[in-house]
Amino acid sequence: MIRRGARHHTVPRDNDGTLSALSARCTHPGCLVRFNDTESTWECPCHGSRFDTSGSVRQSPATQPLKPAHLAPTE
């Protein structure tokens, strides 16, 4: 997870090595997700939502995927 100002992002690497930036903010809404190395999922500590490395919901209560993050270069 990386932090840019007040925003937190996940930057998972796909099996082919591709990096994609996602918001680390759960869509249920609000808590910061944490990565579970054993399950290879992003998990929300607040109510238990889980997301795969592409941000898709694997377990509710969240119904929306993690949002894409746009990481602009810093000055």
Quote the least distance from Cβ 8 to ligand FES, whole Å.
Answer: 13
Residue nearer to ligand FES on the CB measure, 13 or 34: 34
Structure tokens at 18: 């591709």
- What's the number of CA atoms in the CB half-sphere (13 Å) around residue 55? 19
CB 7, CB 15: distance < 8 Å: no
Residue nearer to ligand FES on the CB measure, 13 or 59: 59
Give me the residues that bind ligand FES (CB under 6 A), please: 26, 28-31, 44, 46-49, 61-62
CB 29, CB 68: distance < 8 Å: no
Quote the least distance from Cβ 6 to ligand FES, whole Å.
Answer: 17
